Amino acid sequence: MSTAPLRWLGGLLVVYLAAPVLLFLIRFVHGPQRGFHVAGLFPSLLISISCATVSLVLVSLLGVPLAYVIGRSTSTTARLVEVAVSLPLALPPVMSGIIVVYLVGPYSVVGRLFGRHLTNSVYGIVIAMTFCSAPFLILAARAAFASLDQGLLDVAATLGHSEVSRFLRVAVPAAGPEIRAGMTMTWLRAFGEYGAVTILAFNPASLPIYTVNEFMARGLAPTMAPTVLALVVAAVVVVVSRVRFPGRTHVDLTRISPVPPALAPSARLRFDLATRRGAFELRVVHSARSDNLAVLGPSGSGKSVLLRSLAGIYGRGVGAVAFGDDEVGAAGPQRRRVGYVAQNFTLFAHLTVWGNVMFATNANPGNARYWLEHLHLDGLENRLPSQLSGGQTQRVALAQALCHSPEVLLLDEPFSSLDKPIRRELQRELRRLQRETGLATVIVTHDPEEAAVLAHEVIVLDHGRALQAGATRDLFSRPCSPRVARLLGLSNVHAARTTDSGIATPAGTSLPLDIPDLAPGTAVLWKVRPERLRVESAPGTTPHDASVLEFAGRVVDLADVGSSVDLFVQVEEDLELHARVTDPVDLEVGDPCTVLVSRGDIETWITAEPVDEPTDAETSASS
């Protein structure tokens, strides 16, 4: 798509803005009288520069924190404050001055308190400039703070930083470009303010008032000098605002000796969580029996809410939490000693790798170098996050959390956005770390394979409730319902009821199995591994012994992955069997077929009645 029309439109505006300035400069160069000799020119310039600078300092000290508060809040009060802050932009400057007179004028309460010196003085100039220019900085900073990634503040909190520290060390640097732009506009607006200053402090004269006075008394010629000075000052301010001063310091790791961290003993978790986030409610009780716990569930099941609750990010009103014998439910995130790795490996973009790993309040340079080497990050310490690959970014986030010397390491979908080879590599890296450190870990994931690889214990979560919890092997071997089996990524787990001769599916298909000591009608689950199934293209053509069961069906899907073929066969309306075969098959989607399975390859176990939604009984049992 051509950008020529856009360039023409933009160029037209540039011509409109630049043409008057260019014509003025031509007249200035050739003019016989410019007005530099007129008394009061440079004192008025000094007054405008100094008062605009004082105004900027006041607006920055008070306005940036205010912008942070209203930018991070969704309350009605914050919106009303934003409207009030914006009002000076809608008022003509003269009217702004009239309004401020009612606050600081010589006969107001505040004016009398200060001896009626707040008007017709430099104080009045600063007050007028501040009232008219403050919205530029506040609104620019508010927009930046509103779009700030909450994960940055959450990570900073878990690394030991207080609210004020998070504001100064995370929010302000992240909003730096917008704050600088707002400061530039605020200073320039204050420097050029005329209407409100005229009402509050006509004398001493600022540069705009001096210019108007000269124009009214002597005409256009003597106004050239103050105008060109204003243009020069504005240009200098804009250029200075664009300068980026180096903020990075080069770190030489050869000067720092690696020091292995003294990690706390493994702290197994106990928690009783009950919290509501908007319309979503989380209610989970669990007492871990192993060091490595995985929370598995689909998107929207409450996994991240659970993890943030453990980290203390939602405050103390979420329920009881204990790390070993340490009750931390009443502690804020900065006091819980957790290592928290957010879902997108949230790093501080303005800091180098070294700055990120040293960001924890208790970080030690020797420990930091140890983790950089241990996680194969040495040589990257002076890079910015934008210069790292996905795998390197994940390792830095992990090193950052470990440098806090945590009692528990919390990982929120740590590998979900990485390519599969990198994901496999980092999973092995984390397993090695678990073995070497013995550190308790809680990993949130929607990948059953990842949960099985990284945890000895799993909670299956859905709709804010635990459907089943226990040892990883037990859950994958015997899920409590077909629904849990689906969330675990297991095939061929189906509900049935016992009969006198075996079990029967809900549609009435009978499977003659030996089910001892179970009364007819008992709810059970049955399972067969996909690779234990055989599929024949022509139904009923080959005789089989009594130990082999046959299912007649139709192929509904087929996937050839090279080393094997996955076949999905519809046997009943609600019964689909997944077979994985290594031999070539002469079948297409829609073909009739027969699925064969040995009776000995079918496992059965008692289960609760399958339901669509988790029951209180399931939740209690899983805890």
The pLDDT tens digits of the residues spanning 5-60 come to 888 888 888 888 889 888 888 888 887 777 788 889 999 999 999 999 999 999 99
Q: Is the pLDDT of residue 614 over 50?
A: no
Buried b (16+ CB within 10 A) or exposed e, 9-31: eeeeeeeeeeeeeeeeeeeeeee
pLDDT band of 547, cuts 50, 70, 90:
confident
DSSP 167: I
The CATH 3.40.50.300 domain(s) of the chain lie at 257-477
pLDDT band of 608, cuts 50, 70, 90:
low
Q: How far is CA 343 from CA 281, 289, 444, in A?
A: 21, 25, 9
Residues 429-440, mean pLDDT to the nearest whole number: 87
Residues 350-367, mean pLDDT to the nearest whole number: 94
pLDDT the model gives residue 578: 94
Residues 308-329, mean pLDDT to the nearest whole number: 90
The CATH 2.40.50.140 domain(s) of the chain lie at 529-601
Asked whether the beta carbons of 336 and 312 are under 8 A apart, the reply is yes
Residue ranges of alpha helices (H) inside 203-349 are 207-218, 224-242, 303-311
pLDDT band of 615, cuts 50, 70, 90:
very low
- The model's pLDDT over 444-495, given as tens digits with 9 standing for 90+, comes to 999 999 999 999 999 999 999 999 999 999 999 999 988 999 999 999 999 9
CA–CA separation, 316 vs 486, rounded Å? 34
Which residues are CB-neighbours of 277 under 8 A, at least 6 positions away? 305, 314
> Taking the CB of residue 574, how many other CB atoms lie within 10 A of it?
12
Asked whether the beta carbons of 394 and 414 are under 8 A apart, the reply is yes
Tokens describing residue 375: 């996680």
Q: Is the pLDDT of residue 620 over 50?
A: no
CA–CA separation, 42 vs 389, rounded Å? 55
Q: Is the pLDDT of residue 82 over 80?
A: yes
pLDDT the model gives residue 544: 62
pLDDT the model gives residue 340: 93
CA angle 249, 251, 257 (to 5 degrees): 150
The CATH 1.10.3720.10 domain(s) of the chain lie at 21-242
Residues 212-221, mean pLDDT to the nearest whole number: 88
Architecture in CATH for domain 21-242: Orthogonal Bundle (1.10)
Residues 406-413, mean pLDDT to the nearest whole number: 91
pLDDT the model gives residue 435: 86
E-strand ranges in 198-355 read 269-277, 280-287, 292-296, 319-323, 326-327, 338-341
Give Cα 444 to chain centroid, integer Å.
15
CA–CA separation, 82 vs 63, rounded Å? 11
What sign does the dihedral 574-580-583-586 (CA atoms) show? positive
CA–CA separation, 574 vs 506, rounded Å? 8
Q: Are strands 523-527 and 493-499 parallel, antiparallel or unpaired?
A: antiparallel
Phi, psi of 465 (to 5 degrees): -130, 150
Q: Is 180 exposed, middle or buried (0-12, 13-18, 19+ CB in 10 A)?
A: middle
Q: Is the pLDDT of residue 166 over 50?
A: yes
Give which of 553, 547, 542 is closest to 532, Cα–Cα: 547
pLDDT band of 540, cuts 50, 70, 90:
low
Q: Which helix (H) or strand (E) holds 469?
A: strand 465-471
CA–CA separation, 182 vs 171, rounded Å? 15
Q: Is the pLDDT of residue 619 over 50?
A: no
pLDDT the model gives residue 426: 84
Residues 600-615, mean pLDDT to the nearest whole number: 66
Q: How far is CA 538 from CA 47, 576, 593, 598, in A?
A: 98, 18, 6, 19
CATH of domain 257-477: 3.40.50.300
CA–CA separation, 130 vs 451, rounded Å? 57
Length of the chain: 623
pLDDT the model gives residue 542: 58
- The model's pLDDT over 236-257, given as tens digits with 9 standing for 90+, comes to 999 999 887 766 678 888 889 9
pLDDT band of 541, cuts 50, 70, 90:
low
β-partners of residue 409 are 339, 441
CA–CA separation, 595 vs 255, rounded Å? 68
pTM of the model: 0.82
Q: How far is CA 488 from CA 295, 417, 448, 559, 605, in A?
A: 11, 20, 5, 21, 17
pLDDT the model gives residue 4: 80
Q: Which helix (H) or strand (E) holds 13?
A: helix 4-30
β-partners of residue 445 are 296
Tokens describing residue 477: 């071997």
If one compares 591 and 619, the residue with the highest pLDDT of the two is 591
Picking from 168-177, 368-377, 608-617, which range would have the lowest pLDDT averaged per residue?
A: 608-617
pLDDT band of 613, cuts 50, 70, 90:
very low
Helix (H, G, I), strand (E, B) or coil at 120: coil
Q: Which helix (H) or strand (E) holds 205?
A: none
Q: Is the pLDDT of residue 622 over 80?
A: no
What sign does the dihedral 204-205-206-207 (CA atoms) show? negative
Q: How much is the mean pLDDT over the chain? A: 89
Q: Residue with structure tokens 């640097």? A: 173
CA–CA separation, 116 vs 329, rounded Å? 55
Q: Is the pLDDT of residue 219 over 60?
A: yes
Residues 381-395, mean pLDDT to the nearest whole number: 91
* The CATH fold of domain 529-601: OB fold (Dihydrolipoamide Acetyltransferase, E2P) (2.40.50)
Q: Residue with structure tokens 């899920």? A: 479
Residues 150-160, mean pLDDT to the nearest whole number: 93
Asked whether the beta carbons of 549 and 595 are under 8 A apart, the reply is no
Q: Are strands 338-341 and 465-471 parallel, antiparallel or unpaired?
A: unpaired
Residues 128-138, mean pLDDT to the nearest whole number: 96
- The model's pLDDT over 286-297, given as tens digits with 9 standing for 90+, comes to 999 999 999 999
CA–CA separation, 393 vs 414, rounded Å? 11
Give Cα 306 to chain centroid, integer Å.
15
pLDDT the model gives residue 67: 97
Picking from 263-272, 349-358, 385-394, 548-557, which range would have the lowest pLDDT averaged per residue?
A: 263-272
pLDDT the model gives residue 617: 35
Residues 594-615, mean pLDDT to the nearest whole number: 73
pLDDT the model gives residue 543: 62
pLDDT the model gives residue 25: 87
Residues 420-424, mean pLDDT to the nearest whole number: 81
Q: What percent of the chain has pLDDT over 90?
A: 59
What is the radius of gyration, based on Cα positions, of the chain? 35
